[in-house]
Amino acid sequence: MPTPPPPHAPSVPLPDRIRACRLCAERFARTATAHRPRPVAWFRAGARLIVTGQAPGMRVHRSGRPFDDASGVRLRRWMGVDEETFWDRDRVAVVPMGFCFPGYDAKGADLPPPKVCAATWREAALSYVGAVGPRLLIGGYAQAWHLGPGRVTDRVRDWRAHAARGIWCLPHPSWRNTGWLKANPWFEAEAVPALQAAVREALA
């Protein structure tokens, strides 16, 4: 019986190598939740579009499915896709800035994604998925990595210029941003229908 390759061997598919990653084990053990890494690597080569968010929350940490929460419901509505489409890895690749739930800060908000995650995996994951259609950059961490420093509101407001390059800068769909959505009704009135059209075209 041949010995299987270790999880970090180059012959192991990248999503499986990421799932085996334990680089942040000590960091997560020091958080209030003292959880273990559970990387949610949800992508396949050749997907039609890439969704990049921040990092899984606790609910996704438990379920192992990206955006399996209220934020995901709102994100799917913005994209105009149902759950079956969104979780079909051949169509939608979810490549966040951190693959694991990072824990909570003192106010109960999610900690930032560990920088080591994007430094270790991001370039490889994007190459693995390959050239795709729309890239959805959700929130400040994803937008800063791709576009450099800047304000989320400015980038979202400038959605037409970014969309011309296939990049969709979005606010985080969290309930925490409901006030932002009310203060910026143009986003759901103008940017969301255009995003839905781009997603429809990419998935057709």
User: Interface with ligand SF4 by CB under 6 A: which residues?
Assistant: 18, 21-24, 37, 39, 98-100, 114, 116-117, 120
Please name the residue that has the structure tokens 């890494």: 37
Spell out where the chain has E strands: 49-52, 92-94, 135-138, 167-170
Helix (H, G, I), strand (E, B) or coil at 76: helix
CB closer to ligand SF4, 18 vs 192: 18
Shortest Å, Cβ 19 to ligand SF4: 8
- Determine whether 176 is exposed, middle or buried from the number of CB atoms within 10 Å of its CB (0-12, 13-18, 19+): exposed
Residues 6 or more apart whose CB falls under 8 angstroms from that of 35 comprise 28, 29, 61, 101, 103
Give the count of beta carbons closer than 10 Å to the beta carbon of residue 9: 10
- Determine whether 111 is exposed, middle or buried from the number of CB atoms within 10 Å of its CB (0-12, 13-18, 19+): middle
CB closer to ligand SF4, 93 vs 192: 93
CB closer to ligand SF4, 79 vs 118: 118
Shortest Å, Cβ 49 to ligand SF4: 22
Shortest Å, Cβ 104 to ligand SF4: 15
Between CA 127 and CA 143 the distance in angstroms is: 18
In this structure, what DSSP letter does residue 102 have? -
What residue spans of 48-99 are helical by DSSP H? 58-63, 70-79, 83-86
- State both tokens at 32: 């209030």
CB closer to ligand SF4, 78 vs 121: 121
Computed on alpha carbons and rounded to an integer, the radius of gyration of the chain in Å comes to 17
